[in-house]
Amino acid sequence: MVRSIKIEKGVFRNLCFLLSLIVHPILSKGLLISIEGPDGAGKTTVLEALLPRLREAYPAQVVTTREPGGVAIAEQIREVILDVDNTSMDAKTELLLYIAARRQHLIEKVLPELEKGNMVIMDRFIDSSVAYQGTGRGLDQDEIAWLNAYATDGYKPDVTLLFDVDSETGLARIAASGEREVNRLDLEKLDLHQRVRQGYLDLAQAEPERIKLIDASQAFEDVVEQAWEVIKGYL
């Protein structure tokens, strides 16, 4: 007879945390930085402004990449996820596509670069799934934590920069930008974006040692400087 095992809420998260403590320290020689934030926070633009300083200060190469994407298979998955015609996509389907892209990207690109001693800066990583599919879509966050740990073997960034801005401002920035391509998530209603932002803030409160909150409503130059001050502490 097959018996199902029911694990109480919270146990998934604890198990994933223990796994990360065991696996993470031995995997790489480089530095992994993730940048996160709700849509329109300006994180990608800030990263572009920081790159010259980072490349001058870091002794090895500085590699930038993104999620979903970064390698051929993950880029193909990205096209499916963000296609504006895929409005019927189920929330769990969306989550599992992100998880699949994450695994391929990590194994094929991120970990090899870290093993060379390089700095890898990821535009989105594990926290996006918690904020978007967890708090945003209402999926179980403990199950998402388990899937993240399964896909990454418990690996987490050395530091995460969370660029925070209110949802109205973020969406207004997107609407005003002629360069940014509109994707399926941009078409979501305001309340989803507000839940996503709150999900990120909850993560920052839960993991303050790793996740550093950046006020992205400041003048652009001030946002860049605040981000630089955080990163300097890890160089």
Q: Give the pLDDT confidence of 177-205 residue by residue, as tens digits.
A: 766 666 777 667 889 999 999 999 999 99
Q: Looking at the 3D structure of the chain, how many domains does it have?
A: 1
**Three-state SS at 35:** strand
CATH number for the domain that contains residue 78: 3.40.50.300
> What number is the average pLDDT over the span 147-174?
94
Q: What is the mean pLDDT of residues 34-59?
A: 95
At 175, is the pLDDT very low, low, confident or very high (cuts 50, 70, 90)? confident
Cis preceding linkage at 68, omega within 30: yes
Q: Which residue would you say has higher pLDDT here, 149 or 174? A: 149
Query: Is 143 domain-assigned?
Result: yes
Is 144 inside any structural domain? yes
| Full-model pTM | 0.86
Looking at the domain assignment, is residue 125 inside a domain?
yes
Answer yes or no: is 17 within a domain. Answer: no
* The pLDDT of residue 183: 73
- Domain presence at residue 208: yes
Structure tokens at 183: 């994707």
Expressed as residue numbers, the domain containing 68 is: 28-232
Q: Is the pLDDT of residue 110 over 90?
A: yes
pLDDT recorded at residue 180 = 63
Rounded CA gap, 5 and 172, in Å? Answer: 47
DSSP summary character for residue 89: -
**Secondary structure (3-state) at 212:** strand
| Predicted confidence band of residue 26 (pLDDT cuts 50, 70, 90) | very low
Q: Which amino acid is residue 62, in one-letter code?
A: V
Q: What is the DSSP letter of 164?
A: E
**Bridge pairing between strands 31-36 and 211-215:** unpaired
Q: Does 11 map to a domain?
A: no
On whether residue 126 sits in a domain, the answer given is: yes
Please check the confidence at residue 167 and state whether its pLDDT lies above 80: yes
Q: Classify residue 161: in a domain, yes or no.
A: yes
* pLDDT value for 230: 97
